[in-house]
Amino acid sequence: MSVPETKELKVELPEYTLKDVAAHNTKGDTWMVIHGQGNFPLNNQKDGANITTVFDLTKYLHDHPGGPEVLLEVAGTDATADYEDVGHSEDAREIMQPFLVGTLKDAHQYVQPKTVRVVSQKAPEVANSSSSTIKTIAFTLGGLAPVFYLISQRNNLTKSLGAISHLIPHPLKNLRLPHGGFINGFLAASAISTVLGVMVARQASRFTKIDSGFMRFPPHKKSKKVLRVDPHLARGFLDPQHYQRLHLVEKTELATNVYRFVFALPTATGILGLPIGQHVSIRAVVDGASITRSYTPTSNNLDRGRIELVIKCYPDGLLSGKYLAGLTVGEEVEFRGPKGSMRYTQGLCRKIGMVAGGTGITPMFQLIRAICENDTDTTEVSLVYANRSESDILLREELERFARQYPKNFKLWYMLDSAPEGWTYGSGYVDQAVLAKQLPAPSPDTKVMLCGPPGMVNATKKNLVALGFTKPGVVGKMTDQIFCF
């Protein structure tokens, strides 16, 4: 499926003051200012990235991944700092373009805070101390020359050295000692002692020499440690700056309007190159406009030659309903990535609570799978997965298999709006009582992750705060105790 190129247009948009923007601060009229998000030249300026732009996000409120409340808290203001602070991905810029309504008059250029770099002190050099040790040993043994001389006078030096002949290098074994006089005997003994001293010092230096400096490592640790390479951090097919096409090779309907899409990578052994917790962006032209949306694959870098996505295609969805739902095997789709502020690594925390609704299970599944399949990851995960009916549960077989095989890592609890007879899990809303029973208690080493319908996510955040978890900021960060995908 070909995608027409977009020609650069020069657009004339009205200018607004901050006072004008401040008047649009309600749920039915939500404006805000964000610096440098113009995707094309505006108002006769050459670089749209240097313009402070005004957006009307009223129609985007309920599509925002963090829920409408996040946007409403900064409605009518300059939200540039909050926008930059969370580290929005490049596809966020594309998604916002249809909501651009103007530019800010007399705007000041936004300057992002500088990152403080901490420079570590180098370990002290030990070469000089090693060299001094060698010299000390050499001169000490050299100082034993008189002893060798006395031995040579009484017992004949050659016979005395015979006892240690296995330690003497071949050239010294054939050395003839001069006869007669104190001076000759002393000089011969000194020469031999010095040579032996250097040999012993060299051998000793092999045991004391550490290339990187022994001050870098505690005495009980080895200086060299072999680290296991994390396969989920490896680079692969994805390019964060450019879209690339992949062929659809499989499409399976899992539930009503929910499909599993499988796309083939260019090679059968290739990897996607997606860190755990991040997502990809899909682009297509729908009704003459370029539309992009982000999705989290259920596959990862361990799946060679393919990428899998589980997507609910809403009938009125611009990309999912009007484009993805109609895809047939063999067609091409454009991908870009990785995207997102979440990047899971082993040791992020000791316990993770998860609350997912509907297709919000996909980023959770990605983390669950990575943790369970890593033999060294002891993170404990507790998932509460909410759906309307039993038939709506996605990836059920895979989730229950992980729960059976890795009971120490993963605990699973379903919640349904309409539970069938004999249902052994929960029913109704994911309220405070359910969260307290099924998720780990608040602690410095515990995080809770949320993904699902905005109403459910917002209600869950409030209930978690009531249970003692720290309220997240306006814009989500990886360091938050409550993280929203």
Active-site residues, by number, are: 279, 295-296, 451
Cβ neighbours around 482 below 10 Å, total: 22
> How many residues would you count in the chain?
485
Angle, CA of 157, 161 and 167, to the nearest 5°: 155
Q: Provide the residue type at 155 as one letter.
A: N
3-state secondary structure of 85: helix
Kindly tell me the burial class for residue 307, based on how many C-beta atoms sit within 10 Å of its own C-beta (0-12, 13-18, 19 or more).
buried
CA distance 450 to 168: 74
The verdict on whether residue 293 carries a ligand-binding annotation is yes
Q: Rounded to an integer, what distance in angstroms lies between the CA atom of residue 471 and that of residue 455? A: 17
Structure tokens belonging to residue 374: 């890593």
Ligand-binding site membership of 320 (annotated): yes
Q: Is 295 annotated as a binding residue?
A: yes
Structure tokens at 473: 């900021």
For 326, how many CA atoms within 13 A lie in the half-sphere containing its CB? 11
Residue (of 245, 243, 250, 251) closest to 266 by Cα position = 245
- Type and span of the H or E element at 383: strand 380-387
221 labelled as ligand-binding?
A: no
What's the CA gap between 439 and 350, in Å, rounded? 13
Q: Are strands 410-416 and 380-387 parallel, antiparallel or unpaired?
A: parallel
Task: Give the integer Cα–Cα distance in Å for 446 and 221.
Answer: 30
Query: Which two tokens mark 404?
Result: 């059976």
Which of 439, 441, 421 minimizes the C-alpha distance to 430? 439
Strand order, beta sheet including 100-104: 15-16, 100-104, 52-56, 29-35, 25-26
The residue assigned the tokens 């209930």 is 463
The structure tokens listed for 146 are 């008189």
| 129 annotated as belonging to a binding site for a ligand | no
The three-state DSSP-derived secondary structure of 128-161 is HHHHHHHHHHHHHHHCCHHHHHHHHHHHCHHHHH
Q: Which amino acid is at 360?
A: G
C-alpha torsion 34→36→38→42, nearest 10: 110
Annotated binding site: 293, 295, 310, 312, 320, 362
Query: Which parts are annotated binding residues for FAD?
Result: 293, 295, 310, 312, 320, 362
